[in-house]
């Protein structure tokens, strides 16, 4: 699994007892950011498909 370098730096600076809490927060943030990127990519693809459909309809 890919983890940002800043996450590794932050994990190195924390106490071991708080490590599980930090991991949960950071992994949750990472998953949310990944979902946002995926959603933006999906929307861009849908928008591009709509533009292509309009172009085809106009040329016919």
Quote the longest CA-to-CA distance of the chain: 67
pTM above 0.85, yes or no: no
pLDDT in the model for residue 1: 47
At 18 the three-state DSSP class reads helix
- φ, ψ for residue 22 (rounded to 5)? -60, -45
pLDDT in the model for residue 13: 65
pLDDT per residue over 2-55, tens digit each? 556 676 676 666 555 576 777 788 888 888 888 888 888 888 888 887 777 777
Rounded Cα distance, 14 and 47, in Å:
44
pLDDT in the model for residue 21: 76
């Amino acid at each position: 699994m890919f983890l940002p370098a800043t996450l590794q730096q932050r994990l190195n600076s924390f106490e071991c007892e708080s490590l599980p809490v930090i991991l949960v927060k950071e992994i949750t943030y990472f998953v949310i950011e990944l979902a946002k990127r995926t959603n933006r990519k999906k929307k861009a693809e849908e928008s591009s498909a709509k533009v292509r459909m309009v172009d085809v309809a106009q040329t016919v």
